[in-house]
Amino acid sequence: MTNNNKSLPVLDLVGRILLALIFVFAAIGKIMNYHGTAMFMAAYGVPAGLLPIVIAVELLGGLAIMMGLWTRWAALILAIFSATAIAIFHRTFNTPNEQIVTLAEVSFTGGLLLLAVNGSSCLSLDAWRKRK
């Protein structure tokens, strides 16, 4: 595709939304099952007191990427967050399901790093802020 393709901003917007959905839904799931998530984290040695921060990073980071607000920073923070989650929670490849989940997390991290490098298109709050 060339840069003069008018569909690129729409594809950028759709891609950002699809990439960020997992983080927004994960945050909502953690809110809905707060106690269970806190116990899960504690079982891996992560203090349950960090759960509000985890929820905030996932929810606010995901929404920021969807809207294209501070896109590069939000993507970088979520990439670091995802890499940390992989290191803590997804260290085993004992079952095919664990392999798929871990590789999906790695893929999300890769997409976030690309977004951190490239930023968002003209269909974003970042672009709107630059025009003002």
Residue 104 CB neighbour total at 10 angstroms? 12
Closest C-alpha among 113, 41, 49 to residue 77? 113
**The pLDDT value given to residue 65:** 98
**The pLDDT value given to residue 3:** 55
Q: Residue 105 burial (CB < 10 Å; 0-12/13-18/19+)? A: middle
Residue 118 CB neighbour total at 10 angstroms? 12
Helices (H), the chain: 8-32, 34-43, 51-67, 71-89, 96-118, 125-131
What is the end-to-end Cα distance of the chain in Å, rounded? 29
**The pLDDT value given to residue 1:** 45
Mean pLDDT by 10 residues, the chain (132 residues): 69 96 97 98 96 98 97 98 94 87 93 96 91 79
Rounded Cα gap, residues 92 and 98, in angstroms: 7
Domain ranges of the chain: 8-127
Q: Do 41 and 51 touch, CB atoms closer than 8 A?
A: yes
pTM, rounded to two decimals: 0.90
**The pLDDT value given to residue 90:** 86
